[in-house]
Structures are given as structure tokens and as C-alpha cells.
Structure 1
Amino acid sequence: MQLYEKLLAIAEKQCVYVYEKAMSRRNKGLYADQIIWINKNINTHQEKACILSEELGHYFTSSGNILDQSSLTNRKQEYRARTWGYEQLIPLHKFIEAWQQGMEGRHAIADYFEVTEDFLQQTVEHYQRKYGLYVTYQNHLIYFEPLNIIKL
């Protein structure tokens, strides 16, 4: 089962309905009242999975109308939803798993995770903000810049 289908199953279990709908290029996804809309003009399952993860993040972490991003409170909720998606799709143990499978280079790693390279980069940046240049996890050092794993 592909990542996008796994996320659809999570949504279904939460009674969140997901629809693919033609939307403007600017809008890739939207969440409101237990309904998620994904722009059906997005071509890849990887990008749809990344967008769906953020919209599920809104379901799990946000409240109210946060479309006005000039509000600090709304920007915080947007960030919280994105970080939910980052940590759900690429938890730290997945970096170790990819390294153990011999994945090298961001393109190969993104393919392995079934996400876009941009999402992978944003996830790495999130973990770097959270932990610094590296973190010790399950007897491994995970370096975020450059992305590297060392077994302890």
C-alpha cells in the first residue's frame, strides 16, 4: 500500500472525508469541518501524500479558521500542522531505516520515503530546528546537515 493510501486510511479511521477537487494552482489542499480537499491537478502520489499529511495535521492540531496568515496565532497553527506531517511521514527511525537499506542522496531517500524532495528538505530543517545539527537516536547519530547517519 502506498503512503497516500495509508494516509487515506488514517483519515477514514478518523471519519475525515478526503476529496480530490480541481482547485487553483495556489491551493494544494484545504481542511475544514472533517473534510479535506486535495487539488486533483497534482500529478504525483508523493506530492498528494505530503499535502494530505499537512491537512491531517490540521485535523489533529488546529482549530478555527486559520486562512489569515497575517495572524501569529494562525501561523503557529499552520506550523504545528506541518510539523505533525513531517514527524508522521518521516519519524527519526525512518532515517536510520533508509540508511540501513543503503539509500544515498536526497532523491533516493525521498523516493524511499514516498515524499517529494522538498518535503524531505523541510523535514530535515524541522528536525534541525528541533534538535540542532544532530541527534542521538537508537544508538545512531543522525546528522541533519549534511544528512548522514553514524552507528554508535
Structure 2
Amino acid sequence: MTPKEELEQEAYDCGVPVDYINFKSDQLCGLYIDGSIALKSGMSTAQATDTLAEELEHHYTTVGNILNQNSVVNRKQERIARLRAYDRRIGLSGIIQGYRRHCLNRYELAEYLGVTEGFLQEAIDCYKEKYGTFAELDGYIIFFDPSFGVMEKF
């Protein structure tokens, strides 16, 4: 089963319908509303999977209508759902796995993880906000600043 199929199955198991539709807005890729997920038709598999992961996390974490991102409470709920989606699709362990598989740049890492480069960059930026300049896990150091990289501790 592909990651996208696994997320679709999870949504089904939770009673959350997933529909692929043509949004009038080019900027909108997904929406969780009234217990259902709507995804933009025609996205790449990676983009659809990234978006589905985030919208499924909204199902688990979001209360009410958070479309107005001028509200601090709404922005916080959006950030929580996105961070959980990044952790689900990438995570610090995924970055380390990519390093172990000799991924040499963000493109190769995104390809290895099956995510879009944009989603990967957003995750890196979010991890930098969460952890600071670096994070340590399982004998590895993941650097977020001044540049992104992974180093094995000796």
C-alpha cells in the first residue's frame, strides 16, 4: 500500500470522507470541513499525500473554522496540524534515513521520502523554529542553521 493509500484508508477507518474536486482557487490544495476532506484534483501523488496528511491532522487537532488566519488561535491550530503532518511524512528520523541513503541535497531527500520539495522545505523551516539551530537524534546531529545538513556523532 502506498503512503497515499494508507492515509486514505486511515481517513476511511475514521469515517472521514476524502473527495477530489476542482477548486476554483489555484491556491487551495486541501480543506477539512464538516468532518470531510476535500483535495484538489490533478495534484501529483506526493503533493496529494502531503496535503492529505495535513488535512487528516486537522481532523485530529482542529476545532471550529480556522480559515481566518488573522486569529492567533487559528494560526496556532494550523501550525499544530502542519507540524504533525511534517512529523508524519518526514520527521527527524526520515531526515536521518535520507542521510544514511546518501541523499546529497534537498531534491534527493524529498524524492527519497516521497514528499514535495516545498513540503520538505516547510518542514525544515518548522523544525528550525521548534528546535533552534540543530537537533540531535540517535547519534546524529541535524543542522538547520546556518545551513541544512546531517552529521553522525562519533
* 2:90 counterpart residue number: 90
Q: Does 1:119 align with 2:119?
A: yes
Q: Which AA in structure 2 matches 1:74? A: N
* 8 Å contact kept, 1:28–1:39: yes
Gap regions ≥5 residues in structure 1: none
| Bigger mean CA offset, 24-33 vs 90-99 | 24-33
- CA offsets, 1:5-37, max 9 Å, x none? 222122122221111011121221111232100
The amino acid that maps onto 1:89 is R
Alignment TM-score, normalising by the size of structure 1:
0.93
* Structure 1 contact 57–84 (Cα < 8 Å) conserved: yes
Contact 1:142/1:149 (<8 A) preserved: yes
Paired residues, what number?
A: 151
Matched, 1:71 2:33: no
User: What SS is found at the alignment partner of 2:151?
Assistant: strand
Measured in 1, the distance between the counterparts of 2:89 and 2:18 equals 18
SS of residue paired to 1:126: helix
Deviation string 1:64-111 (CA, Å, 9 cap, x unpaired) is 111122222111111111111111111111111111111111111101
Alpha-carbon distance in structure 2 between the residues aligned to 1:47 and 1:65 = 23
State the Cα distance separating 1:138 from its structure 2 match. Answer: 0.6
Percent identity reads 32
Corresponding residue for residue 16 of structure 1: 16
**Aligned partners of 1:149 and 1:68: how far apart in 2?**
37
Structure 2: how far apart are the matches of 1:90 and 1:22? 28
Query: In structure 2, what is the Cα distance between the partners aligned to 1:31 and 1:92?
Result: 26
Does the aligned pair in 2 maintain the 1:135–1:141 contact within 8 Å?
yes
Unpaired stretches in structure 2, ≥5 consecutive residues: none
CA distance in 1, matches of 2:75, 2:97: 32
CA distance in 1, matches of 2:69, 2:151: 39
Contact residue 128 and residue 144 of structure 1 kept, 8 A: yes
Q: Within 5 Å, give how 1:30-69 maps onto structure 2.
A: 30-42=31-43, 44-69=44-69
**For residue 37 of structure 1, what is the amino acid of its counterpart?**
A
